[in-house]
Structure 1
Amino acid sequence: MKETPDLYGAYPRLEEYQLAELTPLGERRTTSAGDVLQPAGEPSDEFIVVLDGTVAVVQDTAEQERVVAVHGPHRFLGEIGMLTGQQLFLSAVAQEPGEVLAVPLDQLRDLVPRDPRLADLILRAFLIRRSLQLTLGAGFAIVGSRFSADTRRLREFAARNRLPHHWIDLENDAEAERLLRELGLGRDETPVVIWRGQVLRNPDNEQLAAAVGLRRTTPVRSACDLIVVGAGPAGLAAAVYGASEGLATVVLDSVATGGQAGTSSRIENYLGFPAGISGAELADLAEIQARRFGAELTVPATAVALEERDGHHVVQLANEARISSRAVLIASGVRYRKLELPGLDAVTSASVYYAATELEANLCRNDPVVVVGGGNSAGQAAVFLAQHAAQVVLVVRSNELGQDMSRYLADRIEQTDGIAVLAHSELRAAHGDRVLEEVVVEDLKTGQRHVEAANALFVFIGSLPHVRWLGDQIVLDDRGFVLTGSQLPGKRQLLETSRTGVFAAGDVRSGSVRRVAAAVGDGALAVRMVHEHLGHSR
């Protein structure tokens, strides 16, 4: 069987010097045809290099095995989930007698700082392979209706966590009815998740995460130095700096790593990435970095309360677990504001979105779409969707595009074919029978209204802080954002809240600058202040 071509750097060969560095760290093993070297549905703790023969990467489907890629000598197996402890979604099977080198992941992690070129090669390949798996629809199946809120919840959770999966649509896929009959299920029992012979009936996010081996759903530590609530850029930065500087650090997030930045198709103004970087890739790299330093990341894990006991801070989770720490960082971010519009409720499940990722783009491919909002999130969404949709209409309330949006992004939109900008405008109604068909747009200057065809609506109209879990424990401003430092009476550190030892960083903080770089800076600075607090409180 021939090797798969090296698509976009997904299947590179190791150079002789790199193989020589790895060889003393691992074990050489002979293989026979049919040997399963990495089974799907299980995590792997070994980095495997093919020395002789060929190894196929195989997807198990309901009907047969599908060969996704074939590796020959000097190629390596695996993808990004190996580095975060996830289950593998594809199996690796020897196609003929040969030999492999198996290197424990711990040994590989020790080598990475000494050979950045090797680390870059492996990380790039792993990230691209995960992207290819997402495109292929490898992994588990979600069977459900496009009009079901729970189906959408499961699909969005899988997409936000970059979990390979495919959706079997009850309305449009003939396979759906056959599957349900074989499983003895009715349509009213959907959505269901099918993975490795297991059938989950309408699982919640934690049940799905546990079934596919996403991550632990309960933190191992019950006590630590620092709890970070929120795994967006601020929380991930705090995890990296906290763990690397010796703090026992636990990071919690109710949905996925990356926060709102994780839903961005391309971040172009972040320092050090002249070609830009996707939010998902940035989140994956930051998570790997934080784990390498010893931070414990737990997703999904929903914080529901903050308490103080015996001089320590206690965060309670939705599953009733409690974690105690000497310091807490509130980095729970914001949520996009929901759009209130006549007729919108009838089409929300099937047609209204608050993120623009590959998932949403595939749902509205070759359809007309409308994007509402004048900030960077709306602008990035419009540029990205223009590559997939038949037409993109950007509805902006302000008089000009650059008023609330970065200039480079406004220029990009003006230069992109397929994007029509409607300035000083607002939506007034949505029309459609279960699926959006059109929206009514009003010009705020003239009062005139007209109809725009739309099968999908993307909403980015401002944000609300995610602070409900704090109750009345922390002082907030009149918009619900967390007050810190000089915004409060008395002498406090810059990012310290109204409670000593509790800090805030990123978009949830009152007066924050809504940029990824600013959030990362907040997270790093917060760790410095945590050190000062812990030094004073000993």
Structure 2
Amino acid sequence: MKETPDLYGAYPRLDEVQLAELRSLGERRTTSSGEVLQQAGESPDEFIVVLDGAVAMVQDLAQQERVVAVHGPNRFLGEVGMLTGQALFLTAVAQEPGEVLAVPLDQLKDLVPRDPRLADLILRAFLIRRSLQLTLGAGFAIIGSRFSSETRRLREFAARNRLPHHWIDLETDAEAERMLRELGIERDETPVVIWRGEVLRNPDNERLAAAVGLRRTTPVQSVCDLIVVGAGPAGLAAAVYGASEGLATVVLDSVATGGQAGTSSRIENYLGFPAGISGAELADLAEIQARRFGAELTVPATAVALGERDGHHLVVLEDEARISGRAVLIASGVRYRKLDVPGLDAVTSASVYYAATELEANLCRRDPVVIVGGGNSAGQAAVFLAQHAATVLLVVRSNELGQDMSQYLADRIERNDGIQVQPHSEVREVHGDRALEEVVVEDSKTGERHVEPAKALFVFIGGLPHVRWLGDQILLDDRGFVLTGNQLAGERQLLETSRPGVFAVGDVRSGSVKRVAAAVGDGALAVRMVHEHLGQHR
């Protein structure tokens, strides 16, 4: 079978120096034709290099199998899930007799600080392969209607966690009904997830995560040093710095790593990435880094209460698990603010979005879209969607585009012929039967209204702090954000809340700067303060 070309650096070939280094860590094995080297749905404990022969990466589509890639000599198997403890989404099958080198994953991880060049090569290939799998729809299948809120929940959860999958739409896919009949599934039982021959009927996020190997049982049984609630940039930074400095660190998030930044198509003003970096890739890199230092990340894991037990802080989870810690870091961020206009509820499931990723772009390809908002999130969405949509209308409440948006984004939007900007305006109504058809935009200066065609509405109008889980344990400002430091009476550390030993970072903190770099700085600084707190109370 012909070897797959090295697409975008996804299938690099190891040189002799790199092979020699890996040979010193692993063992050589002969392989036979048809032998399964890695099984989809399992978490491998070995890094495999092909020395001789060919190995195919196969996707199981239930009805048939599809070869996604073929590795020849000096290429290696695997993708980014191997570094984060996820299950594999493709099966590796030897196509002919050959030989492979099997290196224990623990040995490979120990190699990282000794050979950064090899580590960078493997990591880059793993990240690109995951992106290719997402594009190809390799992984599990979701069957459901585009008008179903439950279908959308599953698709968004899979997209936010960068889980390879493909969606079969009951409304447009001619094969969907036939597949349901063959599987013995009634239409009212959808959405369903099909993975490795198993049918999950409308699973909740936790069940889906467990089925595909994303979520593991909350590991902490004793008291840890630091509990981080929220895995956005601030929480991930705290995880990296906390774990690397010897703190037993646990990170929890109810949806996915990356937070709101994880939904950004391209962050171009983050230090050290002159070509920009997607929020998803930044989140993947940060997660791998945190895990390498020993931080334990559990997703999804929803915190529902903050309490106290035996003199320690206690975080209670939705599944009734309880985690005790000597310090807690509130990094739970904000939830998207919803647009309140007539007609929105009827079209929300099919046409209203609060993120602009490849998932949303594919849904509105070659359609007219409307974006509401004047900040960086709205600007990044406009630039990204202009590459996919027929037209993009950006509705901005302020008088000037650059008033709340970074200047580089404002300049780029003004130069883009595919983006029309409507300043000092607001969306007043939306029209459509189940799916969006048009929006009514009002000029706030003249009061004039006009109707714009739209198949999708993207809303970026700020966020509300996610603090309900805190109850009355922490003092908040009049907008619901967490008060810290000199905003409170008495002597406290800069990021410390009204409860000693509990700190707040990122967007959830009152007065925070809503930028990724600022959130990362918060997370790093908070760890220094955690050390000081633990030192005083040890």
TM range (shorter): over 0.9
Give the superposition deviation at 1:222: 4.2
1:274-313 → structure 2 map (5 Å cutoff): 274-313=274-313
Provide the rounded CA distance (Å) in 1 between the counterparts of 2:187 and 2:479: 43
Give the superposition deviation at 1:180: 1.2
Counterpart of 1:368 in structure 2 is 368
Deviates more, 1:212-221 or 1:113-122: 212-221
Deviation per residue, 1:400-453 (Å, 9 max, x gap): 100000000101111122100000000010001111000000111111110111
Counterpart of 1:358 in structure 2 is 358
Counterpart of 1:434 in structure 2 is 434
SS at 1:129's partner residue? helix
Check conservation: 2:206, 2:215, Cα contact below 8 A.
Answer: no
Deviation per residue, 1:249-292 (Å, 9 max, x gap): 00000000000000000000000000000000000000000000
1:87-106 → structure 2 map (5 Å cutoff): 87-106=87-106
> In the alignment, does 2:406 pair up with 1:406?
yes
Give the superposition deviation at 1:336: 1.2
Counterpart of 1:161 in structure 2 is 161
Check conservation: 2:158, 2:165, Cα contact below 8 A.
Answer: yes
Check conservation: 1:370, 1:393, Cα contact below 8 A.
Answer: yes
SS at 2:421's partner residue? strand
Check conservation: 1:85, 1:215, Cα contact below 8 A.
Answer: no
> In the alignment, does 2:327 pair up with 1:323?
no
Counterpart of 1:245 in structure 2 is 245
Give the superposition deviation at 1:217: 4.4
Provide the rounded CA distance (Å) in 1 between the counterparts of 2:142 and 2:433: 24
Provide the rounded CA distance (Å) in 2 between the counterparts of 1:123 and 1:416: 34
Amino acid at match of 2:14: L
Check conservation: 1:54, 1:72, Cα contact below 8 A.
Answer: yes
Deviation per residue, 1:297-355 (Å, 9 max, x gap): 00000000000223200000000000000000000001110000111111000000000
SS at 1:287's partner residue? helix
Deviation per residue, 1:377-422 (Å, 9 max, x gap): 0000010001110000000000010000000010111112210000
1:390-405 → structure 2 map (5 Å cutoff): 390-405=390-405
Aligned length: 538
Provide the rounded CA distance (Å) in 2 between the counterparts of 1:319 and 1:175: 37
> In the alignment, does 2:464 pair up with 1:468?
no
Check conservation: 2:218, 2:321, Cα contact below 8 A.
Answer: yes
Provide the rounded CA distance (Å) in 1 between the counterparts of 2:287 and 2:390: 35
Give the superposition deviation at 1:219: 3.2
Amino acid at match of 2:359: L
Amino acid at match of 1:146: R
Give the superposition deviation at 1:176: 1.2
Counterpart of 2:537 in structure 1 is 537
Give the superposition deviation at 1:118: 0.8
SS at 2:200's partner residue? strand
Give the superposition deviation at 1:223: 2.2
Give the superposition deviation at 1:150: 0.6
Give the superposition deviation at 1:179: 1.5
C-alpha RMSD of the superposition: 0.8
Provide the rounded CA distance (Å) in 1 between the counterparts of 2:80 and 2:359: 19
Counterpart of 1:196 in structure 2 is 196
Check conservation: 2:216, 2:298, Cα contact below 8 A.
Answer: yes
Deviates more, 1:497-506 or 1:62-71: 62-71
Provide the rounded CA distance (Å) in 1 between the counterparts of 2:496 and 2:61: 52
Give the superposition deviation at 1:61: 1.4
Give the superposition deviation at 1:218: 2.4
Provide the rounded CA distance (Å) in 1 between the counterparts of 2:465 and 2:231: 15
Amino acid at match of 2:361: A
Provide the rounded CA distance (Å) in 2 between the counterparts of 1:518 and 1:149: 34
Check conservation: 2:220, 2:323, Cα contact below 8 A.
Answer: no
> In the alignment, does 2:16 pair up with 1:10?
no
> In the alignment, does 2:192 pair up with 1:186?
no
Provide the rounded CA distance (Å) in 2 between the counterparts of 1:164 and 1:221: 32
Check conservation: 1:209, 1:217, Cα contact below 8 A.
Answer: no
Counterpart of 1:211 in structure 2 is 211
SS at 2:323's partner residue? strand
Provide the rounded CA distance (Å) in 1 between the counterparts of 2:177 and 2:221: 44
Check conservation: 1:206, 1:217, Cα contact below 8 A.
Answer: no
1:20-169 → structure 2 map (5 Å cutoff): 20-169=20-169
Q: Tell me, which stretches of 5 or more residues in structure 1 are unaligned?
A: none
SS at 2:51's partner residue? strand
Counterpart of 1:512 in structure 2 is 512
Provide the rounded CA distance (Å) in 1 between the counterparts of 2:403 and 2:216: 43
Deviation per residue, 1:68-115 (Å, 9 max, x gap): 111111100000001111110001111111110000111001111111
Provide the rounded CA distance (Å) in 2 between the counterparts of 1:287 and 1:104: 21
Check conservation: 1:146, 1:152, Cα contact below 8 A.
Answer: yes
Check conservation: 2:229, 2:329, Cα contact below 8 A.
Answer: yes
With normalisation by structure 2, the TM-score equals 0.99
Check conservation: 1:217, 1:299, Cα contact below 8 A.
Answer: no
Give the superposition deviation at 1:6: 0.4
